[in-house]
Structures are given as structure tokens and as C-alpha cells.
Amino acid sequence: MTLFFYIKTNYLFLQKQKIMKIAILNGPNLNLLGKREPEIYGSQTFEDYFEILKAKFPQLEFVYYQSNIEGELIGKIQELGFSYDGIILNAGAYTHTSVGIGDAIKAVTTPVIEVHISNTYGRESFRHQSYISGNAKGVILGFGLKSYDLAIQSFL
């Protein structure tokens, strides 16, 4: 009985030590953060903010990827969607147009959190439609870059 308890306790300890792998995927025009419409998206680049996130969550392993090309985002979701613990996706304008990205999220086992820097429901009506939300674990929007921080916390 004592040996079993020791093994079980050590197994639980090792499980807690597993480093979570989180992918952050950004879609079109998010490479222009800090330059594009700062009144909506802020003045900080995502690369600078990503460094802040890595420092805030040193216990996590992050990968960051940005593309303006729909097929590349789908490929990255498929590549990471069976081996990562979480994907944070800001598909930008593809949120409102891409059935393919929505289908890719549905096809993978890794939970996906959809994020948006702005409150898309407080903007133009075409931004109220999401092909991602129905297949995502959750949606966080309108908190600026902090939306990514909140998404990370949802995986912890």
C-alpha cells in the first residue's frame, strides 16, 4: 500500500510538471499591430506583447505564427492541432469569411480559443458573423491585447 501511494504521488507530481504548449496564431493584418488603426488596435506591436506574455507565463511553452494567407493558417492549425495543449486564434478578417478555418478547428483535437482585440459586435455588422466561434472552446474579445492573456489563463 505504501509503495502504491508513493508511485501514485510521484506520477501526479510528474503530471503537474508537464510543460503546456500553447500556440498563438494571428491572421491577416495583425502583423501591422502598432501601426494600423491604433485607436482600435493599440500602439504596441504583437512581437513586443508576445515577449511580455512569455515573461508572465514562464511555465508555458509558446509558439507564435502570423500569416496573411488563409491556407497557411489552416495548415498551421492542422500541424499543431493534435500535439499542442491549446491554440489561441485571432483569424482577423478570415473570422467572418473562412469556412475552411472553421472546418480545420472542428477537425483537430486541440482546444481553440478565438480572440479579437476589439469588440467585433461594436463594429461593422459584417464583423458580427464568425465561422470560428461554433467550433472554438470559447471566445474572448474586446479587451485589447489582454484578450490573449485571458485566453492563456483559460487553459491553466
Has 118 been labeled as part of a binding site? yes
Choose, from 94, 116, 131, 148, the residue flagged as catalytic: 116
**Contacts (Cβ under 8 Å, ≥6 apart) of 94:** 27, 28, 70, 73, 101
Our answer to whether residue 116 is catalytic in this structure is: yes
Q: CB–CB of 99/91 below 8 Å?
A: no
Between strands 20-26 and 138-141, the pairing is unpaired
Has 90 been labeled as part of a binding site? yes
- Alpha-carbon distance values, 22 to 25, 62, 87, 132 (Å): 10, 5, 6, 18
Has 128 been labeled as part of a binding site? no
Helix-, strand-, coil-residue percentages of the chain, each rounded to 5: 50, 20, 30
Our answer to whether residue 94 is catalytic in this structure is: no
Has 85 been labeled as part of a binding site? no
Choose, from 41, 49, 84, 94, the residue flagged as catalytic: 41
**Cα 134 to Cα 132: distance, rounded to the nearest angstrom:** 6
Has 127 been labeled as part of a binding site? yes
Interhelix angle 146-155/46-56, rounded to 10 degrees, is: 40
Has 36 been labeled as part of a binding site? no
Residues noted as catalytic = 41, 116
The annotation places the binding site at 90, 96, 103, 117-118, 127
The annotation places the binding site for substrate at 90, 96, 103, 117-118, 127
